[in-house]
Structure 1
Amino acid sequence: MMKRIFLFCFIAISLLGFGQTLSSQLSDNTLVLGEQGEFKINVSNVTGLDVQAAPKNEILPFHFEILSDSIQRTPNLYTRTIKFQIFEEGKFKIPPIEIKAGDKILTTIPYEVEVINTAKKGEQINDIMNNKDVELGWQDYWSLYKFYIWIALVVIAIIVLIWMLVKWGRAKKSSPTVKTNLTLQELEKLRDKKYIENNDFRSFYIELIDITRNFLSGQYGFPAKELLTDDLLDYMKRQNKISEANEKILTEVFERGDLAKFAKVIPSHTEMEADFNNIKEFVKRSYKDIEFENLRKHV
Protein backbone atom coordinates (compact mmCIF):
# COMPACT_ATOMS: atom_id res chain seq x y z
CA MET A 1 0.00 0.00 0.00
CA MET A 2 2.81 2.40 0.86
CA LYS A 3 4.48 1.61 -2.47
CA ARG A 4 1.35 2.60 -4.37
CA ILE A 5 1.09 5.92 -2.50
CA PHE A 6 4.75 6.66 -3.20
CA LEU A 7 4.32 5.88 -6.94
CA PHE A 8 1.28 8.18 -7.23
CA CYS A 9 3.14 11.06 -5.58
CA PHE A 10 6.12 10.54 -7.87
CA ILE A 11 3.96 10.69 -11.02
CA ALA A 12 2.12 13.83 -9.81
CA ILE A 13 5.37 15.61 -9.00
CA SER A 14 6.79 14.65 -12.40
CA LEU A 15 3.78 16.08 -14.22
CA LEU A 16 3.88 19.27 -12.21
CA GLY A 17 7.62 19.61 -12.66
CA PHE A 18 7.97 18.83 -16.34
CA GLY A 19 4.61 19.81 -18.00
CA GLN A 20 4.55 22.76 -20.43
CA THR A 21 3.15 26.01 -19.03
CA LEU A 22 1.55 28.64 -21.31
CA SER A 23 1.17 32.27 -20.30
CA SER A 24 0.24 35.40 -22.27
CA GLN A 25 0.38 39.09 -21.50
CA LEU A 26 -1.08 42.26 -23.09
CA SER A 27 0.71 45.52 -22.33
CA ASP A 28 -2.53 47.52 -21.98
CA ASN A 29 -6.22 46.91 -22.63
CA THR A 30 -6.76 50.57 -23.59
CA LEU A 31 -4.64 52.24 -26.25
CA VAL A 32 -4.66 55.67 -27.82
CA LEU A 33 -5.21 55.77 -31.57
CA GLY A 34 -1.88 54.80 -33.17
CA GLU A 35 -0.21 54.00 -29.83
CA GLN A 36 2.12 51.02 -29.76
CA GLY A 37 0.96 47.96 -27.86
CA GLU A 38 2.69 44.68 -27.03
CA PHE A 39 1.35 41.13 -26.84
CA LYS A 40 3.62 38.44 -25.42
CA ILE A 41 3.29 34.64 -25.29
CA ASN A 42 5.52 32.44 -23.09
CA VAL A 43 5.73 28.64 -23.10
CA SER A 44 7.99 27.12 -20.46
CA ASN A 45 9.38 23.61 -20.06
CA VAL A 46 9.80 23.08 -23.81
CA THR A 47 13.11 21.27 -23.61
CA GLY A 48 13.54 19.22 -26.78
CA LEU A 49 10.03 19.98 -28.05
CA ASP A 50 9.03 21.57 -31.34
CA VAL A 51 6.82 24.65 -30.75
CA GLN A 52 4.47 25.67 -33.57
CA ALA A 53 2.16 28.70 -33.90
CA ALA A 54 0.69 30.99 -36.56
CA PRO A 55 3.16 32.29 -39.19
CA LYS A 56 5.13 35.46 -38.55
CA ASN A 57 3.09 38.70 -38.76
CA GLU A 58 -0.15 36.69 -39.04
CA ILE A 59 -0.87 35.83 -35.43
CA LEU A 60 -3.15 38.84 -34.72
CA PRO A 61 -6.41 39.79 -36.48
CA PHE A 62 -6.74 42.16 -39.45
CA HIS A 63 -7.08 45.51 -37.66
CA PHE A 64 -3.83 45.03 -35.76
CA GLU A 65 -0.97 46.70 -37.70
CA ILE A 66 2.01 44.55 -36.72
CA LEU A 67 5.26 46.47 -36.26
CA SER A 68 7.44 43.51 -35.28
CA ASP A 69 6.99 39.80 -34.55
CA SER A 70 9.99 38.23 -32.85
CA ILE A 71 10.62 34.78 -31.41
CA GLN A 72 13.17 34.02 -28.71
CA ARG A 73 14.08 30.45 -27.82
CA THR A 74 16.12 29.17 -24.92
CA PRO A 75 16.59 25.51 -23.97
CA ASN A 76 13.60 25.69 -21.65
CA LEU A 77 11.56 28.73 -22.77
CA TYR A 78 9.74 29.84 -25.92
CA THR A 79 8.85 33.55 -26.07
CA ARG A 80 6.99 35.33 -28.86
CA THR A 81 6.67 39.13 -28.72
CA ILE A 82 4.36 41.02 -31.08
CA LYS A 83 4.38 44.83 -31.20
CA PHE A 84 1.41 46.43 -32.92
CA GLN A 85 -0.66 49.56 -33.56
CA ILE A 86 -4.34 50.14 -34.32
CA PHE A 87 -5.48 53.12 -36.36
CA GLU A 88 -9.24 52.80 -35.86
CA GLU A 89 -11.36 53.68 -32.87
CA GLY A 90 -13.37 50.92 -31.17
CA LYS A 91 -12.99 47.61 -29.41
CA PHE A 92 -10.96 44.84 -31.02
CA LYS A 93 -10.63 41.24 -29.84
CA ILE A 94 -7.58 39.02 -29.72
CA PRO A 95 -9.08 35.51 -29.92
CA PRO A 96 -7.60 32.48 -28.17
CA ILE A 97 -4.39 31.49 -29.92
CA GLU A 98 -3.34 27.87 -30.19
CA ILE A 99 0.28 26.96 -29.53
CA LYS A 100 1.44 23.41 -30.23
CA ALA A 101 4.30 22.18 -28.06
CA GLY A 102 5.26 18.69 -29.15
CA ASP A 103 1.98 16.75 -29.29
CA LYS A 104 0.28 19.05 -26.80
CA ILE A 105 -1.93 21.98 -27.89
CA LEU A 106 -2.05 24.96 -25.55
CA THR A 107 -4.48 27.90 -25.88
CA THR A 108 -4.12 31.48 -24.66
CA ILE A 109 -6.94 33.38 -23.02
CA PRO A 110 -8.83 35.93 -25.20
CA TYR A 111 -8.22 39.68 -24.86
CA GLU A 112 -10.09 42.82 -25.82
CA VAL A 113 -8.34 46.06 -26.76
CA GLU A 114 -10.17 49.37 -26.70
CA VAL A 115 -8.74 52.10 -28.94
CA ILE A 116 -9.65 55.70 -28.13
CA ASN A 117 -9.03 59.03 -29.82
CA THR A 118 -7.93 61.64 -27.30
CA ALA A 119 -8.34 64.54 -29.74
CA LYS A 120 -11.70 66.28 -29.36
CA LYS A 121 -13.84 67.09 -32.37
CA GLY A 122 -12.96 70.53 -33.78
CA GLU A 123 -9.87 70.79 -31.60
CA GLN A 124 -6.98 72.64 -33.21
CA ILE A 125 -3.78 70.63 -33.31
CA ASN A 126 -0.73 72.77 -32.63
CA ASP A 127 2.91 72.00 -33.23
CA ILE A 128 4.85 70.79 -30.25
CA MET A 129 7.44 73.51 -30.84
CA ASN A 130 7.12 76.90 -32.46
CA ASN A 131 8.61 77.36 -35.91
CA LYS A 132 12.11 78.76 -35.87
CA ASP A 133 13.50 81.24 -38.36
CA VAL A 134 16.73 79.96 -39.86
CA GLU A 135 19.11 82.46 -41.43
CA LEU A 136 20.62 81.18 -44.67
CA GLY A 137 23.93 82.36 -46.08
CA TRP A 138 24.88 82.58 -49.73
CA GLN A 139 26.45 79.11 -49.58
CA ASP A 140 23.12 77.67 -48.39
CA TYR A 141 21.26 79.37 -51.24
CA TRP A 142 23.90 78.16 -53.69
CA SER A 143 23.47 74.56 -52.48
CA LEU A 144 19.69 74.84 -52.84
CA TYR A 145 19.50 76.57 -56.22
CA LYS A 146 22.81 75.86 -58.00
CA PHE A 147 21.15 73.38 -60.38
CA TYR A 148 18.62 75.98 -61.53
CA ILE A 149 21.30 78.68 -61.74
CA TRP A 150 23.43 76.51 -64.01
CA ILE A 151 20.44 75.77 -66.24
CA ALA A 152 19.64 79.50 -66.47
CA LEU A 153 23.25 80.33 -67.38
CA VAL A 154 23.32 77.63 -70.07
CA VAL A 155 20.03 78.88 -71.55
CA ILE A 156 21.33 82.49 -71.58
CA ALA A 157 24.58 81.37 -73.23
CA ILE A 158 22.66 79.48 -75.93
CA ILE A 159 20.41 82.51 -76.58
CA VAL A 160 23.44 84.83 -76.86
CA LEU A 161 25.20 82.38 -79.18
CA ILE A 162 22.15 82.09 -81.45
CA TRP A 163 21.75 85.89 -81.49
CA MET A 164 25.42 86.36 -82.44
CA LEU A 165 25.22 83.72 -85.19
CA VAL A 166 22.07 85.30 -86.64
CA LYS A 167 23.58 88.77 -86.44
CA TRP A 168 26.84 87.60 -87.99
CA GLY A 169 24.96 85.77 -90.73
CA ARG A 170 22.86 88.80 -91.55
CA ALA A 171 25.89 91.07 -91.49
CA LYS A 172 27.74 88.70 -93.77
CA LYS A 173 24.85 88.51 -96.21
CA SER A 174 24.32 92.28 -96.16
CA SER A 175 28.02 93.22 -96.42
CA PRO A 176 29.00 95.44 -99.40
CA THR A 177 31.33 92.76 -100.76
CA VAL A 178 28.55 90.15 -100.86
CA LYS A 179 26.14 92.52 -102.65
CA THR A 180 28.88 93.46 -105.11
CA ASN A 181 29.64 89.82 -105.95
CA LEU A 182 25.96 88.93 -106.37
CA THR A 183 25.42 91.87 -108.74
CA LEU A 184 28.48 90.98 -110.78
CA GLN A 185 27.09 87.46 -111.17
CA GLU A 186 23.78 88.89 -112.41
CA LEU A 187 25.65 91.05 -114.93
CA GLU A 188 27.51 88.01 -116.26
CA LYS A 189 24.20 86.18 -116.69
CA LEU A 190 22.94 89.19 -118.64
CA ARG A 191 25.99 89.06 -120.93
CA ASP A 192 25.41 85.33 -121.53
CA LYS A 193 21.98 86.13 -123.01
CA LYS A 194 23.80 87.85 -125.95
CA TYR A 195 21.35 90.74 -126.21
CA ILE A 196 24.16 92.98 -127.52
CA GLU A 197 25.21 90.53 -130.24
CA ASN A 198 21.58 90.06 -131.30
CA ASN A 199 20.94 93.82 -131.23
CA ASP A 200 18.07 93.32 -128.74
CA PHE A 201 18.74 96.70 -127.15
CA ARG A 202 15.31 96.97 -125.51
CA SER A 203 15.65 93.71 -123.49
CA PHE A 204 19.27 94.56 -122.73
CA TYR A 205 18.52 97.94 -121.15
CA ILE A 206 15.42 96.72 -119.30
CA GLU A 207 17.46 94.04 -117.48
CA LEU A 208 20.57 96.22 -117.08
CA ILE A 209 18.58 99.01 -115.40
CA ASP A 210 16.67 96.52 -113.20
CA ILE A 211 19.97 95.03 -112.00
CA THR A 212 21.32 98.53 -111.34
CA ARG A 213 18.20 99.61 -109.43
CA ASN A 214 18.34 96.50 -107.23
CA PHE A 215 22.00 97.19 -106.53
CA LEU A 216 21.36 100.83 -105.59
CA SER A 217 18.56 99.72 -103.28
CA GLY A 218 20.60 97.04 -101.51
CA GLN A 219 24.03 98.67 -101.44
CA TYR A 220 23.11 102.29 -100.75
CA GLY A 221 19.61 102.03 -99.32
CA PHE A 222 18.07 104.14 -102.10
CA PRO A 223 14.35 103.68 -102.95
CA ALA A 224 15.52 102.86 -106.46
CA LYS A 225 12.71 100.39 -107.20
CA GLU A 226 9.95 102.89 -106.44
CA LEU A 227 11.23 106.17 -107.96
CA LEU A 228 11.09 107.19 -111.60
CA THR A 229 14.37 107.78 -113.39
CA ASP A 230 14.44 111.58 -112.99
CA ASP A 231 13.37 111.37 -109.35
CA LEU A 232 15.95 108.67 -108.64
CA LEU A 233 18.80 110.65 -110.22
CA ASP A 234 17.78 113.75 -108.27
CA TYR A 235 17.53 111.75 -105.03
CA MET A 236 20.94 110.16 -105.65
CA LYS A 237 22.62 113.56 -106.10
CA ARG A 238 21.03 114.95 -102.93
CA GLN A 239 22.18 111.99 -100.83
CA ASN A 240 25.82 112.63 -101.73
CA LYS A 241 26.71 108.94 -101.23
CA ILE A 242 28.03 108.29 -104.72
CA SER A 243 31.05 109.97 -106.30
CA GLU A 244 30.49 112.46 -109.12
CA ALA A 245 32.14 110.15 -111.66
CA ASN A 246 29.75 107.34 -110.77
CA GLU A 247 26.77 109.71 -110.77
CA LYS A 248 27.67 110.73 -114.33
CA ILE A 249 27.87 107.09 -115.47
CA LEU A 250 24.51 106.22 -113.89
CA THR A 251 22.85 109.30 -115.40
CA GLU A 252 24.00 108.42 -118.93
CA VAL A 253 22.99 104.76 -118.64
CA PHE A 254 19.54 105.47 -117.12
CA GLU A 255 18.70 108.19 -119.66
CA ARG A 256 19.85 106.12 -122.65
CA GLY A 257 18.04 103.09 -121.26
CA ASP A 258 14.71 104.94 -120.94
CA LEU A 259 14.99 106.18 -124.52
CA ALA A 260 15.92 102.70 -125.77
CA LYS A 261 12.99 101.05 -123.95
CA PHE A 262 10.57 103.28 -125.85
CA ALA A 263 12.55 102.98 -129.11
CA LYS A 264 13.30 106.69 -129.17
CA VAL A 265 16.96 105.88 -129.84
CA ILE A 266 18.72 102.83 -131.18
CA PRO A 267 21.99 102.40 -129.30
CA SER A 268 24.89 100.91 -131.18
CA HIS A 269 26.77 97.80 -130.13
CA THR A 270 29.59 100.04 -128.95
CA GLU A 271 27.28 102.12 -126.72
CA MET A 272 25.64 99.03 -125.21
CA GLU A 273 29.04 97.45 -124.57
CA ALA A 274 30.29 100.68 -122.98
CA ASP A 275 27.20 101.01 -120.76
CA PHE A 276 27.55 97.39 -119.63
CA ASN A 277 31.24 97.81 -118.77
CA ASN A 278 30.62 101.15 -117.03
CA ILE A 279 27.91 99.64 -114.79
CA LYS A 280 30.18 96.67 -114.06
CA GLU A 281 33.04 98.97 -113.06
CA PHE A 282 30.66 101.10 -110.98
CA VAL A 283 29.56 97.99 -109.08
CA LYS A 284 33.18 96.97 -108.49
CA ARG A 285 34.10 100.46 -107.20
CA SER A 286 30.97 100.84 -105.05
CA TYR A 287 32.63 99.60 -101.86
CA LYS A 288 34.89 102.66 -102.00
CA ASP A 289 31.80 104.88 -101.86
CA ILE A 290 30.57 102.85 -98.86
CA GLU A 291 33.93 103.16 -97.08
CA PHE A 292 33.98 106.90 -97.71
CA GLU A 293 30.42 107.24 -96.38
CA ASN A 294 31.26 105.26 -93.21
CA LEU A 295 34.37 107.39 -92.67
CA ARG A 296 32.35 110.57 -93.10
CA LYS A 297 29.80 109.39 -90.49
CA HIS A 298 32.49 108.79 -87.88
CA VAL A 299 34.27 112.11 -88.34
Structure 2
Amino acid sequence: MKKSFVKLILSLYLLCLGTLSFGQILSSGLLKTKINIGEPNTLKITVSGLNDNEAISADKAKLLPYHFHIIKDKISRDKEQYTRVIDFTIYEEGTFNLPALDFKIGSQTQKTIPYTIEVGNSVKDGEKINDIMNNKQVDLGLRDYWQLYKLYVLIAIIIICFIILAYGFIKYGRKKSAEKKSPANQTIKALEKLKAKKYIEKEDYRSFYVELIDITRGFLTSQYHIPADVLLTDDLIDLMKKEDKISSENEKIVEEVFLRGDQVKFAKTIPDKSDAEKDYKDITGFVKRSYRDIEFDKLRNDV
Protein backbone atom coordinates (compact mmCIF):
# COMPACT_ATOMS: atom_id res chain seq x y z
CA MET A 1 0.00 0.00 0.00
CA LYS A 2 2.82 2.35 0.92
CA LYS A 3 4.65 1.53 -2.31
CA SER A 4 1.58 2.36 -4.38
CA PHE A 5 1.13 5.62 -2.50
CA VAL A 6 4.79 6.56 -3.01
CA LYS A 7 4.53 5.81 -6.75
CA LEU A 8 1.40 7.93 -6.97
CA ILE A 9 3.12 10.86 -5.24
CA LEU A 10 6.18 10.41 -7.52
CA SER A 11 3.99 10.35 -10.61
CA LEU A 12 2.21 13.54 -9.55
CA TYR A 13 5.55 15.16 -8.79
CA LEU A 14 7.02 14.28 -12.18
CA LEU A 15 3.81 15.39 -13.87
CA CYS A 16 3.92 18.76 -12.15
CA LEU A 17 7.63 19.13 -12.77
CA GLY A 18 7.21 18.38 -16.47
CA THR A 19 4.34 20.84 -16.74
CA LEU A 20 6.15 23.66 -14.94
CA SER A 21 9.62 23.13 -16.43
CA PHE A 22 9.06 22.06 -20.03
CA GLY A 23 5.45 22.61 -20.97
CA GLN A 24 5.15 18.99 -22.16
CA ILE A 25 3.61 16.25 -20.02
CA LEU A 26 5.19 12.78 -20.09
CA SER A 27 3.12 10.04 -18.52
CA SER A 28 3.30 6.27 -18.53
CA GLY A 29 1.12 3.44 -17.30
CA LEU A 30 1.67 -0.29 -16.86
CA LEU A 31 -1.36 -2.54 -17.20
CA LYS A 32 -0.17 -5.19 -14.70
CA THR A 33 2.64 -5.46 -12.18
CA LYS A 34 2.01 -9.20 -11.70
CA ILE A 35 1.73 -11.62 -14.61
CA ASN A 36 2.24 -15.29 -15.36
CA ILE A 37 4.96 -16.61 -17.65
CA GLY A 38 4.07 -15.75 -21.26
CA GLU A 39 1.08 -13.59 -20.27
CA PRO A 40 0.80 -10.38 -22.33
CA ASN A 41 1.24 -7.04 -20.59
CA THR A 42 0.96 -3.46 -21.85
CA LEU A 43 3.04 -0.34 -21.29
CA LYS A 44 1.49 2.92 -22.51
CA ILE A 45 3.54 6.12 -22.78
CA THR A 46 1.97 9.49 -23.60
CA VAL A 47 3.52 12.89 -24.24
CA SER A 48 1.01 15.74 -24.47
CA GLY A 49 1.47 19.44 -25.16
CA LEU A 50 4.13 18.87 -27.82
CA ASN A 51 3.32 22.07 -29.71
CA ASP A 52 4.99 20.66 -32.88
CA ASN A 53 8.04 19.39 -30.95
CA GLU A 54 9.44 15.94 -31.76
CA ALA A 55 9.33 13.11 -29.18
CA ILE A 56 12.22 10.69 -29.71
CA SER A 57 12.87 7.42 -27.89
CA ALA A 58 14.92 4.25 -28.37
CA ASP A 59 13.82 1.90 -31.16
CA LYS A 60 11.97 -1.38 -30.68
CA ALA A 61 15.09 -3.49 -30.20
CA LYS A 62 16.64 -1.23 -27.53
CA LEU A 63 13.73 0.25 -25.58
CA LEU A 64 12.95 -2.56 -23.11
CA PRO A 65 15.43 -4.78 -21.22
CA TYR A 66 16.65 -8.11 -22.56
CA HIS A 67 14.08 -10.32 -20.81
CA PHE A 68 11.11 -8.35 -22.16
CA HIS A 69 9.89 -9.87 -25.42
CA ILE A 70 7.98 -7.29 -27.48
CA ILE A 71 4.77 -8.55 -29.09
CA LYS A 72 3.66 -5.28 -30.68
CA ASP A 73 5.04 -1.74 -30.62
CA LYS A 74 2.68 0.91 -31.97
CA ILE A 75 3.38 4.65 -32.18
CA SER A 76 0.85 7.35 -33.03
CA ARG A 77 1.43 11.10 -33.02
CA ASP A 78 0.04 14.45 -34.06
CA LYS A 79 1.04 18.06 -33.46
CA GLU A 80 0.11 18.01 -29.76
CA GLN A 81 0.40 14.40 -28.58
CA TYR A 82 2.69 11.39 -28.89
CA THR A 83 1.44 7.93 -27.86
CA ARG A 84 3.39 4.69 -27.77
CA VAL A 85 1.69 1.41 -26.80
CA ILE A 86 3.98 -1.56 -26.25
CA ASP A 87 2.59 -5.07 -25.76
CA PHE A 88 5.19 -7.43 -24.27
CA THR A 89 5.62 -10.59 -22.26
CA ILE A 90 8.28 -12.34 -20.16
CA TYR A 91 9.10 -16.03 -20.48
CA GLU A 92 11.01 -16.44 -17.21
CA GLU A 93 9.80 -16.67 -13.64
CA GLY A 94 11.05 -14.03 -11.18
CA THR A 95 11.08 -10.31 -10.44
CA PHE A 96 12.10 -7.96 -13.25
CA ASN A 97 12.71 -4.22 -13.24
CA LEU A 98 11.47 -1.99 -16.00
CA PRO A 99 13.78 1.03 -15.65
CA ALA A 100 12.93 4.63 -16.35
CA LEU A 101 12.95 5.16 -20.12
CA ASP A 102 14.50 8.25 -21.72
CA PHE A 103 12.38 10.36 -24.06
CA LYS A 104 13.89 13.39 -25.79
CA ILE A 105 11.19 16.05 -26.22
CA GLY A 106 12.43 19.05 -28.13
CA SER A 107 15.77 19.96 -26.56
CA GLN A 108 14.98 18.35 -23.18
CA THR A 109 15.16 14.72 -21.98
CA GLN A 110 12.45 13.32 -19.68
CA LYS A 111 12.12 9.91 -18.05
CA THR A 112 9.18 7.61 -17.44
CA ILE A 113 8.36 5.99 -14.09
CA PRO A 114 10.30 2.78 -13.32
CA TYR A 115 8.26 -0.37 -12.60
CA THR A 116 8.81 -3.73 -10.97
CA ILE A 117 7.08 -6.74 -12.49
CA GLU A 118 6.61 -10.06 -10.75
CA VAL A 119 6.35 -13.04 -13.10
CA GLY A 120 4.83 -16.21 -11.65
CA ASN A 121 4.26 -19.73 -12.87
CA SER A 122 0.62 -20.75 -13.06
CA VAL A 123 1.60 -24.45 -13.09
CA LYS A 124 2.21 -25.82 -9.61
CA ASP A 125 5.16 -28.06 -8.85
CA GLY A 126 4.40 -31.69 -9.64
CA GLU A 127 1.27 -30.83 -11.61
CA LYS A 128 0.89 -32.83 -14.81
CA ILE A 129 0.19 -30.91 -17.99
CA ASN A 130 -2.17 -32.73 -20.34
CA ASP A 131 -2.78 -31.97 -23.98
CA ILE A 132 -6.23 -30.66 -24.77
CA MET A 133 -6.58 -33.30 -27.49
CA ASN A 134 -4.87 -36.65 -28.01
CA ASN A 135 -2.29 -36.86 -30.77
CA LYS A 136 -3.84 -37.90 -34.05
CA GLN A 137 -2.13 -40.00 -36.70
CA VAL A 138 -2.32 -38.32 -40.07
CA ASP A 139 -1.70 -40.19 -43.33
CA LEU A 140 0.42 -38.15 -45.73
CA GLY A 141 -0.02 -38.32 -49.49
CA LEU A 142 2.39 -37.47 -52.30
CA ARG A 143 1.22 -33.86 -52.34
CA ASP A 144 1.88 -33.55 -48.60
CA TYR A 145 5.37 -34.98 -48.95
CA TRP A 146 6.00 -32.60 -51.85
CA GLN A 147 5.03 -29.61 -49.71
CA LEU A 148 7.34 -30.83 -46.93
CA TYR A 149 10.39 -31.57 -49.06
CA LYS A 150 9.99 -29.48 -52.23
CA LEU A 151 12.60 -26.97 -51.12
CA TYR A 152 15.21 -29.69 -50.69
CA VAL A 153 14.29 -31.20 -54.06
CA LEU A 154 14.60 -27.85 -55.82
CA ILE A 155 17.97 -27.18 -54.17
CA ALA A 156 19.19 -30.63 -55.26
CA ILE A 157 18.04 -29.97 -58.86
CA ILE A 158 19.83 -26.60 -58.90
CA ILE A 159 23.04 -28.20 -57.61
CA ILE A 160 22.85 -30.98 -60.24
CA CYS A 161 22.24 -28.44 -63.04
CA PHE A 162 25.17 -26.37 -61.83
CA ILE A 163 27.44 -29.43 -61.84
CA ILE A 164 26.32 -30.35 -65.38
CA LEU A 165 26.89 -26.79 -66.63
CA ALA A 166 30.30 -26.63 -64.97
CA TYR A 167 31.30 -29.98 -66.50
CA GLY A 168 30.10 -28.90 -69.95
CA PHE A 169 31.96 -25.62 -69.71
CA ILE A 170 35.17 -27.31 -68.62
CA LYS A 171 34.95 -30.00 -71.29
CA TYR A 172 33.57 -28.09 -74.26
CA GLY A 173 34.18 -24.44 -73.40
CA ARG A 174 37.93 -24.87 -73.18
CA LYS A 175 37.92 -26.96 -76.33
CA LYS A 176 36.12 -24.26 -78.30
CA SER A 177 38.41 -21.63 -76.85
CA ALA A 178 41.43 -23.67 -77.94
CA GLU A 179 39.94 -24.12 -81.39
CA LYS A 180 39.45 -20.38 -81.76
CA LYS A 181 43.12 -19.83 -80.92
CA SER A 182 44.36 -22.57 -83.27
CA PRO A 183 46.68 -21.51 -86.15
CA ALA A 184 44.16 -22.73 -88.75
CA ASN A 185 41.29 -20.60 -87.41
CA GLN A 186 43.49 -17.54 -87.06
CA THR A 187 44.78 -18.00 -90.60
CA ILE A 188 41.24 -18.37 -92.02
CA LYS A 189 40.32 -15.04 -90.38
CA ALA A 190 43.43 -13.43 -91.88
CA LEU A 191 42.47 -14.76 -95.34
CA GLU A 192 38.95 -13.40 -94.96
CA LYS A 193 40.37 -9.96 -94.13
CA LEU A 194 42.58 -10.21 -97.22
CA LYS A 195 39.58 -11.01 -99.39
CA ALA A 196 37.67 -8.05 -97.94
CA LYS A 197 40.37 -5.69 -99.24
CA LYS A 198 39.32 -6.64 -102.83
CA TYR A 199 42.83 -6.49 -104.30
CA ILE A 200 41.79 -8.88 -107.06
CA GLU A 201 38.81 -6.74 -108.09
CA LYS A 202 41.09 -3.67 -108.14
CA GLU A 203 43.69 -5.66 -110.14
CA ASP A 204 46.28 -4.88 -107.48
CA TYR A 205 47.83 -8.35 -107.80
CA ARG A 206 51.17 -7.45 -106.27
CA SER A 207 49.60 -6.39 -102.94
CA PHE A 208 47.36 -9.47 -103.04
CA TYR A 209 50.24 -11.95 -103.45
CA VAL A 210 52.50 -10.15 -100.95
CA GLU A 211 49.86 -10.53 -98.20
CA LEU A 212 48.76 -14.00 -99.31
CA ILE A 213 52.32 -15.35 -99.12
CA ASP A 214 53.01 -13.60 -95.78
CA ILE A 215 49.87 -15.18 -94.31
CA THR A 216 50.85 -18.60 -95.63
CA ARG A 217 54.40 -18.30 -94.30
CA GLY A 218 53.05 -17.46 -90.84
CA PHE A 219 50.72 -20.45 -91.00
CA LEU A 220 53.50 -22.85 -92.01
CA THR A 221 55.61 -21.58 -89.11
CA SER A 222 52.91 -21.91 -86.44
CA GLN A 223 51.16 -25.07 -87.69
CA TYR A 224 54.05 -27.16 -89.02
CA HIS A 225 56.93 -25.54 -87.12
CA ILE A 226 58.78 -24.88 -90.34
CA PRO A 227 60.86 -21.64 -90.34
CA ALA A 228 58.97 -20.36 -93.39
CA ASP A 229 59.17 -16.76 -92.19
CA VAL A 230 62.97 -16.62 -92.68
CA LEU A 231 63.57 -18.95 -95.66
CA LEU A 232 63.66 -18.02 -99.31
CA THR A 233 61.07 -19.68 -101.51
CA ASP A 234 63.43 -22.26 -103.03
CA ASP A 235 64.89 -23.17 -99.64
CA LEU A 236 61.41 -23.44 -98.16
CA ILE A 237 60.24 -25.79 -100.90
CA ASP A 238 63.31 -28.01 -100.44
CA LEU A 239 62.79 -28.13 -96.67
CA MET A 240 59.10 -29.04 -97.03
CA LYS A 241 59.95 -31.95 -99.27
CA LYS A 242 62.76 -33.07 -97.01
CA GLU A 243 60.80 -33.04 -93.74
CA ASP A 244 57.67 -34.51 -95.36
CA LYS A 245 55.30 -32.95 -92.82
CA ILE A 246 52.87 -31.76 -95.51
CA SER A 247 50.94 -34.00 -97.85
CA SER A 248 52.00 -34.00 -101.50
CA GLU A 249 48.71 -32.36 -102.51
CA ASN A 250 49.16 -29.47 -100.09
CA GLU A 251 52.86 -29.23 -100.80
CA LYS A 252 52.16 -28.78 -104.52
CA ILE A 253 49.67 -25.99 -103.83
CA VAL A 254 52.13 -24.09 -101.62
CA GLU A 255 54.91 -24.46 -104.20
CA GLU A 256 52.78 -23.19 -107.12
CA VAL A 257 51.38 -20.23 -105.20
CA PHE A 258 54.79 -19.18 -103.83
CA LEU A 259 56.49 -19.39 -107.24
CA ARG A 260 53.69 -17.43 -108.93
CA GLY A 261 53.73 -14.90 -106.10
CA ASP A 262 57.47 -14.29 -106.47
CA GLN A 263 57.04 -13.67 -110.21
CA VAL A 264 54.23 -11.18 -109.54
CA LYS A 265 56.16 -9.38 -106.75
CA PHE A 266 59.19 -8.91 -108.96
CA ALA A 267 57.02 -7.81 -111.94
CA LYS A 268 58.06 -10.74 -114.09
CA THR A 269 54.47 -11.73 -114.89
CA ILE A 270 50.96 -10.32 -114.59
CA PRO A 271 48.54 -13.06 -113.51
CA ASP A 272 44.97 -13.54 -114.70
CA LYS A 273 42.13 -12.78 -112.33
CA SER A 274 41.16 -16.45 -112.44
CA ASP A 275 44.67 -17.50 -111.34
CA ALA A 276 44.58 -15.15 -108.34
CA GLU A 277 41.13 -16.38 -107.31
CA LYS A 278 42.24 -20.01 -107.70
CA ASP A 279 45.38 -19.40 -105.60
CA TYR A 280 43.27 -17.84 -102.82
CA LYS A 281 40.85 -20.74 -102.92
CA ASP A 282 43.67 -23.34 -102.92
CA ILE A 283 45.48 -21.78 -99.94
CA THR A 284 42.20 -21.57 -98.01
CA GLY A 285 41.53 -25.24 -98.75
CA PHE A 286 45.09 -26.16 -97.73
CA VAL A 287 44.64 -24.41 -94.36
CA LYS A 288 41.35 -26.17 -93.71
CA ARG A 289 42.82 -29.58 -94.61
CA SER A 290 46.01 -29.09 -92.62
CA TYR A 291 44.64 -30.95 -89.58
CA ARG A 292 44.95 -34.17 -91.61
CA ASP A 293 48.68 -33.58 -92.03
CA ILE A 294 49.03 -32.97 -88.28
CA GLU A 295 47.09 -36.13 -87.38
CA PHE A 296 49.05 -38.22 -89.86
CA ASP A 297 52.36 -36.88 -88.55
CA LYS A 298 51.38 -37.70 -84.94
CA LEU A 299 50.32 -41.22 -85.95
CA ARG A 300 53.59 -41.73 -87.79
CA ASN A 301 55.61 -40.56 -84.80
CA ASP A 302 53.69 -42.85 -82.44
CA VAL A 303 54.41 -45.85 -84.65
TM-score, structure 2 length as denominator? 0.41
Q: Which has the larger radius of gyration?
A: 1
TM-score, structure 1 length as denominator? 0.42
